[in-house]
Structure formats: structure tokens, C-alpha cells
Structure 1
Amino acid sequence: MTQVILVGLVCFLCPGMFNALNGMGGGGQMDSTTASNANTALYCTFIIFGILGGSIVNLCGVRWTIFVSGLSYALYSGSYVYLNHTANGAFTIAAGAILGIGAGVLWAAQGMIMVSYPKEEEKGKYIAVFWIIFNLGGMIGGILPFAINYHNPKDSLSDAVYIVFVVLEVIGSALGLALCPPSRVVRDDGSSVVLVKYTDVRTECVEIIKLFLNPTMIALLPMCFTSNFFYSYQFNCVNGAIFNIRTRGFNNIWYWGAQMAGAYALSFLLDKKEWSRKKRGLIAFALVAVFFNVMWGGSVALQQKYTHGPTITGPTDYPGGSIDFLEHSRAAGPIILYLVYGIGDALFQNFAYWIIGALTNDSQKLSRYAGFYKGIQSLGATVAWQLDAKKVSFMHQLIGNWVLLGISLVPMFVVINRLTDHSESEIVEEGFAHDHKEALSAGKAEAAV
């Protein structure tokens, strides 16, 4: 638990601050084009280094990989100070590409720690503990711009906000050096987290290729692709489009706070010992499916009121202009919907990690699985942010999110339906590919008897 809390604090100060900045819409800028292009560059490199990240962590260890990766977050936040003074987005876009490299490795290490360190019956709780600490960073990161820009009439964040983010992210990266190697971590009951196994570059290359031949991982591709696709719509097309700058920060406080509540609530379901793992998974699946369909339905109702946000040429066309949180009658509905977005994100992400953690308890495999998840997730995010940068209509982006959700649900159900109560062996991951063969062989043997 100590290690999970430590990596939670790292993500509290690094990805948590990045999420707060990104959640402002356009990185806190009036024009979201540079931020959208920077996010596209970020997720392009994230695709590659997300998939490679698990192997990099296996070869180099968690401490230094997390430390170096964390510094890339500080570089990205600092680039906005340059953007404020020059209006030249090239440095911010390049910093986004570098951040994609660091984030890919950091999240692979984080995923391995979060889903391989706990015992099987505690994985939901450990995922929730991490998610609460991590999103506390986004919540506090929302308070900073809200407080600093409370009396700021401009539609862009001040240098002071970006500099505070840089300082916090440097501190977060340094915390990575306090982590222990997996081989030295012992659970509360005295059992070791991982058997010490030797790995090399050749082995890791072969294992990465196997990921794309693994039927279970292929089945989870739509889930991975969809899991961050909605950020560009929620951050830019809603928060950045219809709220003023201080209300965007106010909304982020509630968005990331709602994530903490959603993760905490889901953990009780995912760890309910009275039910089998499959039953828990199927009930959580139904909850996620219904929740997201209701959420996107509410989004359509809001989206019909406007087509664009503020730009350098004019304000948003939302009725009455940009919303301030003090305009209670106008603000209540959209702010509540944005809070619901936060709950939905927590439900989907926590459930996805729980599914991956149910496939095996091998920390090296889980580091690769987590890297695969983040890599394919980043592919989806790359497409989403570029659609926003190319000014695809808000309604079309919303419809795309809803369609992708529907596509991801079917293979998720298939994988969940094959889960067993224990994953100490490779029953789940291997069995997904061989169930039919084994059933056929068993049938022949029974007939022969």
C-alpha cells in the first residue's frame, strides 16, 4: 500500500497537474488550437512509448524511469509561459511530443504497481486508492487557476499559474526516487509481490509482439481506444467552449472531485467477496454501459444549444454568452453535466484497469498490459484531439464518442464473461484463445470413455 500511495502522489503532482491544465480547455488559452495540436503530438509519441513503456520499466526499473518521465510534465507546463509571451505554439507542440514519451513510460510503471502489488481480492480497493490520490491533484490543480484568476478578466491563464504547475511537477518527479524495486516489495501478509525474473531486450521485443497476437488484448482494443477519446470533447467542446476562465477552474474542482467519489464507490462492487469475479464484472459492466448512455444523451440535449466556443474573432454562440458560476440559473445544468463526466471517467478507467488486473498476477506481464492499454488509449486520444484541432463540429465529435462506446461494449462483455475467480495461473489470458480447442478435446475424450 505504501508503494501505491507513493506512485499516487507522483501522479497527483505530475499527470494530476497536467489534467488540471488540460481540463481548463485549450490549456488555459483563449484559442485551443495550439493545445489541441500539442495534445495530438503528445499522444502520437504516447502510442509508441505506451506500448514500449512496460518493457522499458522491466529493463530499467521503476524509480529512475518515473523520475525522468515526471520531468517531461514540468517541461510541458513551462512551455505555456513561452506561448503567453510569443504566441508561437511550436515549443508547446514539441514539449507535448516529449511529454508523450515520458507519460508512456510513467503510466506503464504506474499500471504495473497498481494492479500487480495488491492481492486478488483487494485490487478494486488499491485501484480506487490510487485514483483518489491522483485525482486529488486534478482537483487542487483546478483550485489554483480558479483562485489566481478569480479577478482576471482575460480568457487565458497568467504566467503565475503555469509556474506553480512547473514547481509541483518537479517535486512529483523527485518522489519517484522513493519507490522500491518490485523484487523488494512485500505485501502485508508477508508474501512477495513478484518472483525475481531476468529479462532482456530480446525477450521484451518478443513479448511486445505477442501482445498484438493475444486474442484477449485484441478483444480489449476498442475499450483501450475509447477510454480517453472523450477528453477533447469534454475539455474543449464543453468546459472550454461555454464557461469563462474562472468557471473552468471551478468546474475542474468538481470534475476531478467527482472522479474520486466514483472510484471509491466502484471499489466496493469490484471487491465484493460474496460474489464471483465474473458476477462483479458483469454488474459493473452494466453500470458503466447504462451510465455512459445516459451521460451522452444529456450531452446531446446541451450540445443542441451552441456550435462553437470563444475564439480570437469572437465569443461563443452559447445563448447569453460564456457562463459564470455565479449565474446560478444558467450554470447549474451544464456544471452538473460536467460533474457527471468526471464520475463517468472514473467508472470507465477503474473498470478497465480492474479487467486488465484480472488477467494475470505476473508483474512483468501486467507492466506490458498496462503499457498496451495506455498506448492504444493514446491512439484514440490522438485521433480525438486532431479532430478538435481540425475544427470538426462539436456535435459530430459527440456522436463519435457515443458510437465508439457502443463498439467497445461488446468485446468487453466477452472478456468479462470469461473471467475466473483466480488468475494466479494464466487460465484467463491463455484460455481465451484455447477455450474452444479444449472443449472439443474434452468432448472427444468423454465420447471415447
Structure 2
Amino acid sequence: MAAPTEDIVETHDDKHVDLDEALVSVEVAHHQETEEDLVDESYFRLPKWAKFYRGTYFQMIMLGGLSFSGPAMSDAIDGLGGGGLATPYTANASNAASYAMSCAMTLFGGPLINKLGIRWSCIIAALWFPITGASYYVNSKYGTQWFVIFAGALGGIFGGFLYVAESTAMLSYPRPTERGKFVGIWVSMRNSGQVLGGAISLGVNVKTAGTGAVSITTYLIFIVLECFGMPCAFLLSPSSKVRRPDGVPVPLAAPVSWKKEVVLLLKHMKHKRTLLMFFPSFYSFFYGGVYTTYLSLHFSIRARALSSFITPVGSILLCLAFGWIIDNKYMSQRKRAWLGFAFWAVPQAAVLIWTAILYRQFQSHNLTGLDYTLNTGDWFRCFVPYYIIQTTGYACQLYLYWLLGCFSADVKSSARTGGLFRCFETAGQAISHGINSRTSDKRIPLYVNIAVYILMVPTLSLLIKLVPDTPVNHDDIVDESKEESKAAAQVQGAMAHDPSGL
């Protein structure tokens, strides 16, 4: 259904009508109809394969395929600990450059996605997937460190297109009652890529009990898998042709100019919900730099390869269960928001404390090269916190997508929300990997992680308090929109007598 943009709802909440947003309100108001009016009857007359092809399920599968061949392969390489290299510092520098560029890209990702569309944004992103694996191969074979960092930086720009495009789709394509399930499918497909990558890494490196770099053959296999992203991108449908299972198109707002897109983005940035989501988004993947460095410095090659296989398996199972929990229709939306928060935040708090204790022990006992067969006890107690933070980390991201989706929005508004969400998230990742590429005392990044967690808890709690008990009703939004459109019409009438008001 064509819900009004989030920016319009924001205008209503703030009790004032801005000129640019008022004009958009007028445009959207003309598109408001009931769900029955919006059902595309021709969709049901299509062949089964065509309905599936244009349906939201197929779009989620293709987006999952993109994540499988792109971010999942990058994560699988990163999951080897320091990119599988002998030391984690070059990989951390590359990741810091990548996420810094992604942060800059996703900041204005909303307007870009709204103009290019989700499909073309994904095609652009898929062009760069194989270069990531190639850079690690070249570094492992020839010792060319600059290429890893350069590929990371440029890949951050290309990857930014995918980050915002997939965020937009996750927030706007599913129906409110299916959002957890759809995001769970996407997260599971992304992690299935890591499972495959981890299985390959484990198979190639299973006999290497020492420390150092993984086999160079590992990267060649990753390069091949990264090439599968392009077909998935081309198979995506334009948003205007996507249909939900009930035949209703995904919500689209009227097109606006580049100037209006930027103005709406700037206003979106100042909204209370946007400010409150900064620390949760910033925190969500901050652990990445801290714990991949932890894995690289303290575990053997085959232990790191085993981790890259079993960790995403746990993430898939956890996220599928978590998606079912937060889609539970027998609890209010706000209760599910609180339950979902506790689901991942409590274990992560325990892990951060656990890791701080382990680092104190590392000072007195130089624990390196931990292996699941040679020193099983030490390996287990040191690996469990890594396993928990990695698996609950994906549950955290799934939760944040679901939470932001509770504030009903159309595709264009979701692009702004998704762009800023990924901007804040990648800023956290850039800083996390950056500090782990420089400091010699690895307790410092952990303490920074703990500080960010402490700041995240109250801000996310305030954001949860804004979640409505039930999904926003379409008719209620339309009624609000009508009031705003009247005010907007008055503004337009004034402009007709005074064009200089533009």
C-alpha cells in the first residue's frame, strides 16, 4: 500500500509544515487509496513463474544471493581472522578504509537509491565483488599490501550502493506481519555464504595447526564465488513491478527532484528517531574489528577456519528463530521490541565482561595458537565469547531492521532511513577496524566497545518507547496525510500569489 513518506509523518509530529515537505505531502496525498483499490488484479492472471519472479519472496532471495556472493564472502575472509593473513593489521587497515568510504557513500545513499533504483544500485555494487578476493590473493602471493587497502577503499564506495539498496528493500518490501521472516531469510542466505566459505577454508586448512597465513588456494575459490553476484542483481525487478503475495505493490511515493531529495534527507537527519538510532547502529557491528583481531592473535589457522564455518551456521539458526519471535502476533509490537532487545543485548553484555577477564589472563599467560585438538580447554573457554558475539551480532542487525520498519514508510523514505542506518553502522566499523590496525594494546579497542555498548542501551530504550503497540494503520496515516495536505494546499495557494516563496 502506498503509505505516505516518513518525512510527512515527521512534519505532523513536529506541528509545522515545511514548504518542500508540504509539496511532497500534496503529491503523495493524490496517490492515497485503500488496499483494495491498490490490489493489482493482473498480477493474479500471470503464470506461476511470473508471479514468483515479480514477488517479494524472489526479490529477497536475489538480495540474499547478492549478500551471499558479496558481503558474505568478505565476511568469510574476515572470519578467518585478519583476512587469513599472517597478521591482522593490513586487513584491519583495509576494512577501516572500506567502511570509511561506505560511511561517506551511505550518508547520501538515500537520494542516490531513490534516483537509481534498487536494481541498478545492486548491479553497480556487484561489479566490485571479485576484486576483494583478488586483493587478498595478490597480497598473499606477492606481499602487495597497498592493493588490499586500495581495493577496500574503492570497494567501500561500490558496497555502499548495496548497503542502502538492501536496507531499503528490507524496510519497505515485506508486509509488517512478515518483516522478521523476510529479514531472517535474507540474513540466513548471507550467512549461508559464510558457511560455504568457511567449509572451503576448513577443508583447505584443516591440517594446519600452527599460526600464520591460510593457504593461497582459499582466495581463488572466494573469487569464483564472488562472481555470482552479477546474475542475481540483473534478475531483480524494478520496485515499481514488485508485488506482495496479496497483489499489492510495494509502497512508492511520488518522484521528487534532487534538490528536494537532499532537503528531505537533511530534515530526516534531524528527526528524533534518526538521532536515537545513531548509537544502536554505530554499535551493531562495532565488535567486528575487535573480535576478528582477537581471533587472529590467539587461535591457530585451522581453529580460525573452523570458526569461519560453525559461526555462520549458528547465526542462521539463531536468526531464523529470532525472526519468528519478533513476528509473534500474540504480543504487542512494543513488547516484541523489548523482548527482541533483551534477546541479543543481555548475552553481549556478558560476553564483553567475559572477554575483559580473558584479556587479564592473556597478560599472565601468553595464549596464542589455541587449537581445538591441542589445547581443547583453553580453546573452548576463549572461543565461546567470540561465537556468542558473532551470532548475536546478526540478530542485533535483524532486530534493528525490524525496529526501524515499525515506523511505517514507503520505499523513498525507507531509502533515507536505510542509508543513514548503514552510514552510522559503517562509521562504527571503520573506527573499530581503524583502532585495531594501530594500537598494540588490544584491551583498548575492547574498552571502547564496552563504552559504545553503555551509550547504546539508553538510546535504544528511548527509541523502543516510540514504537507503537500495533503496526501503523493505513487509514490512520491517510487521515493524518489529509490534514497535512490541506495545510500544504494552503502553502501552494500562497505560493501562487507569491512565487518568490520558492
Name the residue aligned to 1:74. 130
Q: Distance in 1 between matches of 2:451 and 2:475?
A: 33
How far residue 273 of structure 1 moved from its aligned partner, in angstroms, is: 0.6
Give the conservation status (yes or no) of the 8 Å contact 1:307–1:393.
no
Contact 2:344–2:393 (CA under 8 A) maintained in structure 1: no
- Residues matched between the structures, number: 419
How far the C-alpha of 1:200 sits from its partner, in A, is 3.2
Check the 8 A contact 1:258/1:342 in 2, yes or no: no
Q: Given the alignment of the two structures, is residue 192 of structure 1 paired with residue 241 of structure 2, yes or no? A: no
Letter in 2 for 1:347: A
Instruction: Evaluate the alpha carbon distance shift between residue 353 and residue 329 of structure 1 in structure 2; reply closer, same or farther with a 3 A threshold.
Output: same
Counting only pairs closer than 5 Å after superposition, residues 251-290 of structure 1 correspond to structure 2 as 251-290=307-346
Residue in 1 aligned with 2:443? 395
- State the partner residue of 2:348: 292
Secondary structure of the residue that 1:318 maps to in structure 2?
A: coil
Q: Which position in structure 1 is the counterpart of 2:369? A: 322
Query: What residue number does 1:232 align with?
Result: 289
Give the whole-Å Cα distance in 1 for the aligned partners of 2:291 and 2:401: 22
* RMSD of aligned Cα (Å): 2.0
Aligned to 2:64: 8
Deviation track 1:119-148 (CA, whole Å, cap 9, x = no partner) reads 111111111111111111112111111111
Distance change >3 Å, CA 425–CA 55, structure 1 → 2: farther
Q: Is the 8 A contact 1:14 1:173 kept in 2?
A: no
1:181 aligns with 2:232: no
Kindly state the Cα deviation for residue 307 of structure 1 after the two structures are TM-superposed: 5.2
Return the offset for 1:272.
Answer: 1.0
Q: Structure 1 stretches (4+) deviating beyond 4 angstroms?
A: 424-428
The Cα shift of 1:344 comes to 1.7
- CA drift at 1:267: 1.4
The alignment partner of 2:228 has SS state of: helix
> What do residues 8-33 of structure 1 show as CA deviations (whole Å, max 9, x unaligned)?
11101111010000111111101222
| Deviation by residue 1:284-328 (Cα, 9 ceiling, x = unmatched) | 2233332221121221232222259xxxxxxxx633x41122233
Aligned to 2:143: 87
Matches within 5 A, 1:46-85: 46-85=102-141
Between 46-55 and 272-281, the greater mean CA deviation after superposition:
46-55
- Give the whole-Å Cα distance in 2 for the aligned partners of 1:88 and 1:125: 43
**In the superposition, relative to structure 1, how do residues 223 and 136 fare at CA in structure 2: closer, same or farther (>3 Å)?**
same
Structure 1 Cα separation of the partners of residues 249 and 93 of structure 2: 44
Structure 1 unaligned blocks of 5 or more? 309-316, 432-449
Deviation at 1:223, TM superposition (A): 0.8
Asked if residue 17 in structure 1 is aligned to residue 73 in structure 2, the reply is yes
What is the CA deviation profile of residues 183-213 of structure 1, one whole-angstrom value per residue up to 9, with x for unaligned ones? 1111111111123632332222222212321
Aligned to 1:411: 459
Query: What amino acid maps onto 2:429 in structure 1?
Result: A
CA distance in 1 between partners of 2:99 and 2:410 (Å):
27
- Deviating more after overlay: 249-258 vs 11-20: 249-258
TM-score normalised by length of structure 2: 0.80
In structure 1, which of residues 95, 100, 106 is the aligned counterpart of residue 156 of structure 2?
100
Paired residue secondary structure (2:136)? helix
Which amino acid in 2 is paired with 1:82? V
Alignment of 1:138-153 (within 5 A): 138-152=194-208
Task: Answer yes or no: is the 8 Å Cα contact 2:253–2:410 preserved in 1.
Answer: no
Alignment gaps of 5+ in structure 2 = 1-56, 481-502
**Is the radius of gyration larger for structure 1 or structure 2?**
2
TM-score of the pair, normalised by structure 1: 0.89
Please give the secondary structure, in 1, of the residue aligned with 2:190.
Answer: helix
User: C-alpha separation between the residues in 1 aligned to 2:180 and 2:168?
Assistant: 14
* Aligned-partner Cα distance in 2 for 1:115–1:392: 40
